Amino acid sequence: VDAKAHLGEGPIWHEGRAELLFLDILNAKVMAYSPERGETTLDLDLSSVTANITTIVPVEGSNSRVVVGTTDGIALLDLDQGVLASWEPHPSSGKLHGEFVRMNDGKCDPQGRLWIGSISRVGPGGADLAPGGASLYRLDGWATEPARVLGGITVSNGLAWTADGKTMLYTDSPTFGVDSFDFDPSSGDISNRRRAVTCAEGFPPVPDGCCLDSEGKLWVACFGAGEVRRYDPNSSELLAVVKLPEAAGPECTAVAFGGPDLADLYITSAHEFWGEEKLAEMPLAGGLFRVPAELLSTVTGSCVSGVRANAFNVNRVGPERPSAIEFRENRYPYARRDLEAES
């Protein structure tokens, strides 16, 4: 799909709509692709209410309501009613971070809590990262306040939960890997952080969005390499690689399974901070790509599929917790490297 996204991101299969939802973060657009119709069925511009749309997750029990990440927080939206009729920012929006930080990737855990992180940028046009200036939050339900779970983050990205619900996988991109946490399903607490997968020792690439498949293996979009890698999160073994066409460029951003049987692999891409000449050389950058099940099986050696996406439980009431303002920072235990900006 030639989406022409500046920063394509956030692919997630919406079972009720039988569509893949995805985003253009920098143009604040929500899009939907129908594999049955073979076309984009939604191109919703939200730039009148937010400069960025950073993640999207269906609301439990609805075929049209979604929760989204915005520049300054979180909001609810009805895809069928449109922005003017249904836009509802969370009361915490605008209070979680300063002007040089925006929200980024997010997903829901199996209990329906929203986990969403931020990214911190400085410099002209926000081209430079501010190490340690971002956070990871958890929203237990719409009536609750976001709890800041981790600080000292630079680019909060991919999230996933194992089938047994006991492990959370999490990506802070400039650390060049994906970490595992012990996850408490009842409280949502995380502990025992350790490295699950190392994608590189330096840029390029860095790990971006991720997802798990039916065999418990981790698919990681590698920004800067133009590819998606399949890893065993228990052994860190690299199992398979899916490369984007050369004309799509190196900015591979996120990955998700979709289709009626969750058997196809979808990949988003970008052309962030590119000039017209570079974009002309790689005109498919910013597109949405599909790897059909038949082709995917030749790469993996088996018929793998995805797992159902968790929806946001808007009515969930969480336990009493400190607010984000009361949070005591929990900095990353490893040595930190700066992420180079691609020229």
pLDDT in tens, 30-77: 999 999 999 999 999 999 999 999 999 999 999 999 999 999 999 999
> In this predicted model, which residue has the larger pLDDT, 107 or 318?
107
Cα dihedral 254→21→212→185 (10° resolution): 120
Three-class HEC string of the chain: CCCCCCEEEEEEEECCCCEEEEEECCCCEEEEEECCCCEEEEEEECCCCCCCEEEEEEECCCCCEEEEEECCCEEEEECCCCHHHHCEECCCCCCCCCCCEEEEEEEECCCCCEEEEEEEEECHHHCEECCCCEEEEEECCCCCCCEEEEEEECEEEEEEECCCCCEEEEEEHHHCEEEEEEECCCCCCEEEEEEEEECCCCCCCEEEEEEEECCCCEEEEEECCCEEEEECCCCCCEEEEEECCHHHCCEEEEEEEECCCCCEEEEEEECCCCCHHHHHHCCCCCCEEEECHHHHHHHHCCCCCECCCCCECCCCCCCCCCCHHHCCCCCCCCCCCCCCCCC
Rounded distance, CA 10 to CA 25, Å?
9
pLDDT tens profile 135-190: 999 999 999 999 999 999 999 999 999 999 999 999 999 999 999 999 999 999 99
Rounded distance, CA 148 to CA 126, Å?
23
> In this predicted model, which residue has the larger pLDDT, 273 or 237?
237
In the residue annotation, 189 being an active-site residue is answered as: no
pLDDT tens profile 90-112: 999 999 988 789 999 999 999 99
Output the CA angle 86-88-94, nearest 5 degrees: 150
For residue 131, whether the previous peptide bond is cis, meaning omega lies within 30 degrees of 0, is: no
Mean pLDDT for all residues in the chain = 92
Buried b (16+ CB within 10 A) or exposed e, 220-245: bbbbbbbbbbbbebeeeeebbebebe
pTM value?
0.91
Nearest CA to 115 among 154, 81, 149, 86? Answer: 149
Query: Any bridge partners for residue 268, and if so which?
Result: 254, 288
**pLDDT at 121 (0 to 100):** 85
pLDDT tens profile 272-308: 989 999 999 999 999 999 999 999 999 999 999 999 9
Query: Any bridge partners for residue 134, and if so which?
Result: 153
Rounded distance, CA 302 to CA 297, Å?
5
Structural tokens at position 6: 């500046």
Burial class (CB in 10 A: 0-12, 13-18, 19+), 329: exposed
* CA dist 173 → 104, 128, 253, 285, 319 (Å): 12, 14, 11, 20, 30
Rounded distance, CA 100 to CA 61, Å?
35
Sign of CA dihedral 71, 116, 16, 89: negative
**pLDDT at 343 (0 to 100):** 24
- Residues of the chain above pLDDT 70, percent: 91
State the amino acid at position 26 in one-letter form. Answer: L
Catalytic residue among 24, 208, 213, 264: 208
Show Cβ contacts of residue 100 under 8 Å, excluding neighbours closer than 6 positions.
120, 121, 122, 126, 130, 133
